[in-house]
Structure 1
């Protein structure tokens, strides 16, 4: 029997890309899925596909995770329907790549509201229940940008630095109750993320050879579900760059400046 058989997995941002791929792979392992996203029509398509392919039990809820009252209402409904959440995957997020002087305040607020505050809000919805049961797993999708910031991603990188800070503190707090907390730090993934982040398409074109496949990232996340995995860093060579940056920041900024500006 699969480790995820009968486990309830909540995934935010599940209507496409990495979120949908994680849902597919978790469904293949027998998980019960709770999928959250803003677009109900896309969620319905994903639900139908998962039911048809895996005969999976899937519950869907349309919600904007930046809206506190809406999130509280949705999680209340979730607990009415399934009584417990075993794994929460905070996947919802987006980026807009612009130099700091060009960043619009509305875009800055929106990124923090979704990437940081929405993630924290969803996490707060499960913390008391997991602590009371003394079991559970919270998985936060951060980014290599949270370890190594580059030009044209100042605000996005700031949100992911915040996610990593929150995740690292949360991990120590939740360990006392036997609840696992994992940070996932992928490099660029071949999804629709870049349609919003860089509508010109130049960044995706420049890093195409290094793009991760969502299936690859999802495989590592699903494999870690229910285990005490501290971090998932992909690709490994990019994470090595982040480590070198922590040791020799001035050198990396000087040597890598030209490449970093290719966004």
Structure 2
């Protein structure tokens, strides 16, 4: 029986690079993103080059109805999902009170709601089989509440906490849950305004192919929390050794534009 890796946010950034790396390892894929044209182009590329089976679904995962529909359609096709990668997500940068409400709510629905819903829907089959892996893409900001990324860093803190607690609940079931935590990555996520901050001046965006390769290794053989890069590991652990007020002062400086 064919087994499938379900990868969300597969049409760009880390997700796109992971899809190509997984296909090179002969992994059958279910790819999800909003843009059908990009998914179909990627499907043809991967199937022709690597001889794997690829299914594509164009869904806006910020809508719970579309998340539920995705699960229904995959189940109707009888596709066994043995690994789930909750990668889809987005973030915004700027003062919270100056931004519109709708993007913040959509961010919460996608970064948090879709992760919870997809996990809730696909986990029971994994438990019945006694095997499976769910990898949730969190962030360096899961560890660092960052001013001007207020909603985004809060959603990623949720993803980290959700992943760790669920992993503990599932111990002994054969199903593992892990969190993958990159720092800045050279993708379309990074805006010009972000690049002009102190944080990006000191912690340059990493190559997306390298980050994706670390993610693929973690998905296929890793467990627990994976922070990508030594500097990011150090930054993630600084709150353990400094008062919260000092951490927040430092974070605000890092998130502010360079002068």
Fold conserved between structures, TM > 0.5: yes
- CA shift, 1:28, in A, is 0.6
Corresponding residue of 2:225: 231
How much does 1:147 deviate? Answer: 0.6
Per-residue CA distance 1:123-146 (angstroms, 9 max, x = gap): 112110011111000000011111
Q: Give the distance between the partners of 2:41 and 2:231, measured in 1 at CA.
A: 36
* Change over 3 Å in CA distance of 1:52–1:204 after alignment to 2: farther
Closer, same or farther: CA 257–110 of 1 in aligned 2, 3 Å: closer
Which of 176, 181, 187 in structure 2 is aligned with 1:185? 181
Q: Shift of residue 257 of structure 1?
A: 4.1
**Which of 191, 194, 204 is matched with 1:203 structurally?**
194
Correspondence list, 1:87-236, <5 A: 87-194=83-190, 198=191, 201-206=192-197, 207=200, 210-236=204-230
> Quick check: 2:145–2:248 contact (8 Å CA) kept in 1?
no
Q: Distance in 2 between matches of 1:256 and 1:32?
A: 41
Alignment partner of 1:241 out of 231, 235, 242: 235
Pick from 253, 256, 259: which aligns with 1:261? Answer: 256
8 Å Cα contact 2:163/2:179 also seen in 1: yes
Gap runs ≥5 in structure 1? 1-5
Residue 3 (structure 1) aligns with: none
Structure 1 distance, partners of 2:24, 2:7, is 15
Q: Which ranges in structure 2 are unaligned for 5 or more consecutive residues?
A: none
> What displacement does 1:162 show?
1.1
Kindly provide the CA deviation profile for residues 36-84 of structure 1, in whole angstroms up to 9, marking residues without a partner as x: 0111111111111212322221100011112223222222221333431
Q: Distance in 2 between matches of 1:255 and 1:106?
A: 29
Shift of 1:104: 2.1
Name the counterpart of 1:69: 65
Could you tell me how far 1:164 is from its partner in structure 2?
A: 1.2
Task: State how far apart, in whole Å, the 2-side matches of 1:202 and 1:107 are.
Answer: 17
Q: Distance in 2 between matches of 1:257 and 1:13?
A: 29
TM-score when normalising by structure 1: 0.90
CA RMSD of aligned residues (A): 2.0
- Listed one character per residue, the Cα deviations across residues 165-185 of structure 1 (whole Å, up to 9, x for unaligned) are 211111111223111111011
Matched, 1:38 2:29: no
1:155 CA displacement = 0.8
Q: Contact (CA 8 Å) 1:180, 1:226: kept in 2 or not?
A: no
Moved more, 202-211 or 222-231: 202-211
CA offset digits 1:98-139 (Å, max 9, x no partner): 212223221211110000001111111211001111100000
Q: 3-state DSSP class of the match of 2:221?
A: coil
Give the equivalent residue in structure 1 for 2:19: 23
> TM-score scaled by structure 2?
0.91
Contact 2:32/2:59 (<8 A) preserved? yes
